[in-house]
């Protein structure tokens, strides 16, 4: 076979295979985003240093009318506040710490699918906490409260 034709053929085959891999990779991301993480699953992720997951809490900062409460009443340790998924409502201390490019778990009051769907576009790889903070609390998992305090330099970001 002519060398030039063989080369073109090989490059063509590699191009098609690359497209197939890219397509399967995008499908993987979409599927991963669709599967909620359970509270215990999130706790396991927290123990995995290599996972580098950021937790973003979408609840109001404080909510006395709700039995689950707001971000400052109780939250997943290390969670970053982003009330109503509105960047304008992020407290000054947390401003700039929420990143769109790292794997993210969104925490709402009860894991509401509509809230997740509204906010997921702000992140590249994002999963919903199944049952929201209500489920986390019900499972008796560790919590922290009070206003968000940025970690000191060298202590890591807002990731678990």
Cβ-based nearer residue to other proteins, 36 or 70: 36
Residue environment code for 91-117, b if the CB has 16+ CB neighbours within 10 A, otherwise e: beebeebbeeebbbbbbbbebeeebbe
Judged by beta carbon, residue 8 or residue 149, the one nearer other proteins is 8
Q: Which is nearer to other proteins, 31 or 153 (CB)?
A: 31
CA distance 122 to 120: 5
Q: Smallest gap, in angstroms, from Cβ of residue 153 to other proteins? A: 38
Q: Where along the sequence are the contacts to other proteins (CB under 8 A)?
A: 3, 6-7, 10-11, 13-14, 17-18, 20-21, 24-25, 27-28, 30-32, 34-35
Give min distance, CB of 69 to other proteins, in A.
Answer: 28
Report the residue number, 20 or 93, with the smaller CB distance to other proteins: 20
Q: Give the shortest CB-20-to-other proteins separation in angstroms.
A: 5
Distance in Å, CB of 97 to other proteins, minimum: 30
Taking the complex as a whole, how short is the minimal distance between the CB of residue 33 and other proteins, in angstroms?
8
Q: Which is nearer to other proteins, 19 or 139 (CB)?
A: 19
């Amino acid at each position: 076979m002519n060398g030039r034709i063989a080369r073109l053929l090989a490059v063509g085959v590699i191009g098609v295979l690359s497209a197939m891999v890219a397509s399967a990779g995008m499908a993987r991301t979409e599927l991963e985003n669709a599967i909620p993480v359970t509270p215990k699953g999130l706790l396991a992720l927290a123990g995995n240093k290599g996972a580098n997951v950021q937790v973003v809490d979408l609840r109001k900062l404080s909510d006395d009318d709700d039995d689950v409460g707001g971000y400052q009443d109780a939250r997943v340790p290390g969670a970053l506040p982003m009330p109503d998924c509105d960047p304008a409502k992020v407290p000054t201390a947390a401003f700039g710490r929420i990143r769109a490019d790292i794997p993210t778990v969104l925490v709402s009051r009860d894991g509401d699918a509509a809230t997740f769907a509204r906010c997921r576009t702000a992140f590249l790889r994002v999963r919903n906490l199944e049952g929201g903070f209500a489920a986390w609390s019900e499972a008796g998992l560790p919590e922290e409260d009070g206003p968000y305090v940025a970690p000191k330099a060298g202590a890591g970001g807002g990731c678990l």
